[in-house]
Chains A and B, each alone.
Chain A
Amino acid sequence: MAVALLLIILSYIAVRGITSINYEFLTDTPKPVGEGGGIGNAIVGSLIMILLASAVGMPIGIAAGVYLAEFGDNWFGKFIRFITDTLTGIPSIIVGIFVFTLIVLPMGRASAWAGGMALALIMIPIVARTTEEMIRLVPNSLREGALALGAPQWRVTTGVVLPAAAPGIATGAMLAVARVCGETAPLLFTALGSRFYNIELDQPMASLTVQIYNYAIGPYDVEHKMAWAATLVLMTLILLTNIAVRYLTRKKY
């Protein structure tokens, strides 16, 4: 068993180790890709699409989670829960294909909208499930107290239960964002990628993950180095988010 342990730790350290053999001068050049260049546009692109995804995915996910928690104790709720759980396991590339047929084909071109929507679709089931679990954790006495004071049920949920569960929901949301940060496949043919800075939502947009992929499979050594640098940026972001989530959830007892 100890051997198994060592294997895992070794591979993990190997992963971290290689990504830190990096070239710092690349990590903060916000120039578009050229001969030297950097990944600035990819970072911005990723951020924009994640924001887009959150703007759509969070409300829907949270609302669905609330429904499941408050009204979902029947066969229908079980069915929806099952479907949602299975949706979390759908390969992200399939989501990409779906959004491709839904948004890219009619629009005629790749766009940040499509990329953002694909990420939102991945986010929704995750957010819904964590929201539901967080809301279920809110003790019933709070609900009963509010109802006893004469609040209608919707008031109870929005005014009492949601604020009580808010920290938990926020951490669930952060986890979903961390997960979505690292997604590449759905963005491959929805947002495509671009060599330029751009903030127009109906044009192709670069993203950190796709950029890493493109650099890694190319034949140029320079690009490989940039891929590692970009990975460092990405990993820092994701690891920080994950550690923050873990820290926050540890405090509440």
Chain B
Amino acid sequence: MSQVQTTTQATEGITATQRWNIRRALSQTGTTGDAVFRIVLFASVFIILAIVVGMVGMMLSNAMPAIKHFGFGFLTGKNWDPVRNEFGALPFIYGTIVSSVLAVLIAVPISLGIAIFLVEQAPRKIAQPIAFLVELLAAIPSVVYGLWGIFVLAPFIREHLGPILQKYLGWLPLFQGKLTGIGMLTGGIILAIMITPIITAIVRDVLTAVPVTQREAALALGATKWETTKVVLDNAASGIAGAIVLGLGRAIGETMAVTMVIGNMPQISASLFEPAYTIASVLASNFAEATDELYLSSLILIGLILFVVTFIVNGLAKLLVMTVTRGKSGTAKAA
């Protein structure tokens, strides 16, 4: 009976039968140690919940001044002028969307190609080192990509890729304009390189999760290797979609590498060579200097938008992937 008292000191005032039930409810065996253990563990889970709720709450409350001041016009306003206290988020939303979409457009064919190659075609001895290399690409920090982008990719675009694009495709508004090497295109390419390992890893997981029976059935019906691969792809379609969405989510939130190569100018331009600004970049570059309350609040509001978008996109991606792997979720590092 003394055990009952130690664990339920916080619940005095409840009847003896109820006290007993609380302890019983907490642990299957009814011992004190179990109840305490479960509470401790649950506390850590609760912390995770608190983090998410806290994040949303904090950001919401700090963004309130901006919300009240600008209302919905914040999302469509084109001017970002800290001096005049005019804050419109449209250039950043545009920049984020375009750079991420560009990244996905570039990365998906490459990732799919590698993943299919690794799962279907390659003999084990080649597949392992390549897979290893691809995963190592994922471990490279964002700043390093940014550094490489500034000093390797940007000059490359300025001196080689850009002039070629302008010569042959210059009639498209996409490729007009001054060529400095720093701009949307560079940002898009860097993002593409960064999200390729993620998409590849998940597509590989998804492809291996397709039951072998599908492949065997196709082969039994006389399909060639390529046709079998197509069958597998059909099966894994929603998982592949999930991988792409996850890559998109990662591209949207990517901060450092993009900040370093995208030029950081809040403008909307059709040309891919022009500098631009993404949500994450503006947060990175301006947050430390935002002294005015409305400035800070607007920045936090933009951050909140990014948070919500990322949450939805990542959640969607997870659901899509789970439909193929059926609860056998992929490695944590893939996220």
**27 CB-based A-B contacts, threshold 8 Å:** A1-B113, A5-B117, A8-B137, A18-B152, A63-B43, A82-B315, A85-B329, A85-B332, A87-B48, A87-B51, A88-B332, A90-B253, A90-B314, A91-B280, A97-B283, A101-B58, A124-B51, A126-B332, A153-B28, A153-B29, A185-B255, A185-B284, A188-B288, A209-B141, A216-B147, A224-B151, A231-B147
B307 adjacent to A90 (CB under 8 Å):
yes
Kindly identify which residue among A19, A66, A86, A100 contacts B41, using a CB–CB cutoff of 8 Å: A66
Pick out which of these stretches binds chain B: A25-33, A34-42, A238-246: A238-246
Q: Is B294 an interface residue (CB 8 A)?
A: no
Q: Is A205 an interface residue (CB 8 A)?
A: no
User: Considering residues A1, A19, A155, A178, which has the most beta carbons from chain B within 10 angstroms of its beta carbon?
Assistant: A1
B114 adjacent to A4 (CB under 8 Å):
yes
Q: Which residues of B contact A2 (CB under 8 A)?
A: 117
Q: Is A84 an interface residue (CB 8 A)?
A: yes
Q: Which residues of B contact A102 (CB under 8 A)?
A: 54, 58
- A124 CA / B140 CA spacing, docked (Å): 20
* Interface band, chain B: 35 or more
B144 adjacent to A94 (CB under 8 Å):
no
When C-beta atoms are compared, the residue in chain B nearest to A80 turns out to be B45
- A224 CA / B155 CA spacing, docked (Å): 15
Question: CB within 8 Å of B: which residues of A?
Answer: 1-5, 7-9, 11-12, 14-15, 18-19, 59-61, 63-64, 66-68, 70-71, 80-98, 100-102, 121, 124-126, 128-130, 133, 152-155, 157-158, 172, 175, 178-179, 181-185, 188-189, 192, 209, 212-213, 216-217, 224, 227-228, 231, 234-235, 238-239, 242, 246
Q: Is B59 an interface residue (CB 8 A)?
A: yes
A86 adjacent to B318 (CB under 8 Å):
yes
- A97 CA / B48 CA spacing, docked (Å): 17
A71 adjacent to B38 (CB under 8 Å):
yes
When C-beta atoms are compared, the residue in chain A nearest to B58 turns out to be A101
- A19 CA / B143 CA spacing, docked (Å): 12
- A84 CA / B63 CA spacing, docked (Å): 25
- A239 CA / B144 CA spacing, docked (Å): 13
- A125 CA / B36 CA spacing, docked (Å): 23
Shortest CB distance B126–A (Å): 9
A188 adjacent to B335 (CB under 8 Å):
no
Within 8 A of A (CB), among B19-58: 27-29, 31, 33-34, 36-38, 40-45, 47-49, 51-52, 54-55, 58
Shortest CB distance A92–B (Å): 7
Kindly identify which residue among A15, A59, A126, A192 contacts B288, using a CB–CB cutoff of 8 Å: A192
Instruction: Report, nearest first, the 4 A-B pairs whose CB atoms are least far apart.
Output: A182-B141, A91-B253, A154-B37, A63-B44
Shortest CB distance A168–B (Å): 12
